[in-house]
Chain A
């Protein structure tokens, strides 16, 4: 049995190739060239799921595709996935954008300024200037990894993660920014705080920041108003 299946099928727009890797007896991991292609792949799979497929789990460069082994198999899925035409990146319309008011009072704001060589004000300006999109969720329920961060704001995670980061903390790490939806441990650099409730286990869906959602951060006054 071959362990890994590498396919070199060009995508419809010729921008690159995806690889289909087996992931146990009822899932495949589809690996894209980059984060942007992974998001388009997730959208394409969501809109036109191959027969027999179930849950999709998008991540940084991949989409995990669960399937019903009584309805299909990984070879058929490999063929279906590599033939899938990828969408153009969907334009974010203003109506779909979640606006997150932020008080930029985070304990790591000064450290991020130091690491990036910017002033604290410049960090805030660059963070509020960005157009972000939820690439995927993970780490904790409703924790959304937002892409679109200004490359100048890329900083490493803290060497020592905090044991307790409060709900609503707005943070950056590596190529991502995000909001801690609930109190949890965390290693990202904290820029500020939002009072916007993003997670509600009694709501359907429980998070406002599902994959594909467009997000902007706006600076809020001390009282929290945008």
Chain B
């Protein structure tokens, strides 16, 4: 669609046989006692009791394939997934669960160590409250329930050993736009746990990085700021923009003052990056996140710095964003 669709979800291709194959694999793990034998001793299985609001399996994605039309995808808040993995002794890129607004409940087939990071969700193991950003010992048969965060959007759960769902093009990430990787979590699904753990972290708890007030995102102007009036960039960096409900892993549609174009028409398709503020004909920008299209045809007025992208991914509908040059 190259960004010419009216809604973020319009460009989502239908899922193909790859995803169906994944579903079959999960079913096999359920019905055949020996299905996990090839995965060795790490084949503990998590049962999804409640799937939340679009929870997905994510790792650090599929870098290096954009020239073939495959975006990077992976955790929208990469720092949070990395932290959760470090807290359970996993490699930073092990697959975990990304949970927008929490709401997930899991039953553990055997004892496991896990950790939550990202948006602070209330959480309970068999009804006992547990905290975020610290390793949690979950006994065999116990249920981990993750509530809804008061602020922030995406929580991450890492399980020691990593989730061992089948990799597609070298990654276990769900790319919701391209339809690659595992399907979204569904109730009743079984998630195998692998053997990715490499050791134990030096710290048992990671402090919270609190950011009071509006979310401030630093931007680099361009590449197509010359397609807009000189006032447009000042408006973008001077006025508040509100995250709308039309937001997902592809991007966030923002509400705020219109960014006026100095010239009409569409660009020939060009490469897009995470953090790009693409401006469709409405004049209100879309901030691209992890599953953004590889190429697009609407001009990008500015790009959020890589170091602020994790914070952008934690903005939820209704939150106010402030953009700053620099």
Contact = CB atoms under 8 A, between A and B. Distances in A.
B72 to A, nearest CB: 9
Contacts of A59: 268-271, 295
Interface string B165-185: 000110000000011100000
B273 A4 contact: no
Interface in A184-206: 184-185, 187, 201, 205-206
A136 B293 contact: no
A22 B269 contact: no
B300 A23 contact: yes
Contacts of B304: 24
B295 A139 contact: yes
B41 interface: no
Nearest to B268: A60
Nearest to A62: B270
A64 B64 CA distance: 12
A206 B70 contact: yes
B146 to A, nearest CB: 31
Contacts of A164: 14
Contacts of A144: 69
Interface string B158-170: 0000000000110
20 contacts: A3-B233, A4-B221, A4-B226, A22-B303, A23-B222, A23-B271, A24-B220, A26-B306, A28-B223, A29-B270, A55-B66, A57-B67, A136-B295, A141-B178, A161-B1, A182-B16, A201-B180, A206-B65, A206-B68, A206-B169
Q: Which 5 A-B pairs have the closest CB atoms?
A: A64-B271, A24-B303, A184-B13, A60-B268, A3-B221
B221 A1 contact: yes
Contact of B223 (A22, A56, A206): A22
Contacts of B26: none
B1 A185 contact: yes
Q: Which of A4, A24, A25, A184 has the most CB of B within 10 A?
A: A24
Interface range, B side? 35 or more
Contacts of B11: 139, 185
B10 interface: yes
B64 A61 contact: no
A4 B220 CA distance: 10
A167 B16 contact: yes
Band of interface residues on A: 35 or more
Interface string A197-222: 00001000111001100000000000
Interface SS, A side:
loop
Nearest to B2: A139
Given A64-B272, A187-B1, 7 more contacts: A4-B226, A23-B273, A58-B271, A64-B273, A136-B295, A142-B70, A210-B68
Given A55-B63, A62-B271, A4 B178 contact: no
A36 to B, nearest CB: 13
A148 B293 CA distance: 25
B270 A182 contact: no
A81 interface: no
A201 B65 CA distance: 12
B37 interface: no
B222 A22 contact: yes
B67 A56 contact: yes
Contacts of B10: 185
A61 B68 contact: no
Contacts of B16: 167, 182-183
B270 to A, nearest CB: 4
Contacts of A183: 13-14, 16
A185 B7 CA distance: 14
A64 B180 contact: no
B13 A182 contact: yes
B282 interface: no
Contact of B295 (A1, A22, A57): A57
Contacts of A27: 271, 273, 303
Contacts of B1: 139, 161, 185, 187
B31 interface: no
Nearest to A176: B269
B305 interface: yes
A46 to B, nearest CB: 9
Contacts of B69: 137-144, 207
Interface in B40-86: 63-70
A43 B24 CA distance: 41
Q: Name the residue in B67, B306, B325 with the highest tally of chain A Cβ atoms < 10 Å from its Cβ.
A: B67
A102 interface: no
A94 to B, nearest CB: 24
Nearest to B219: A24
A179 interface: no
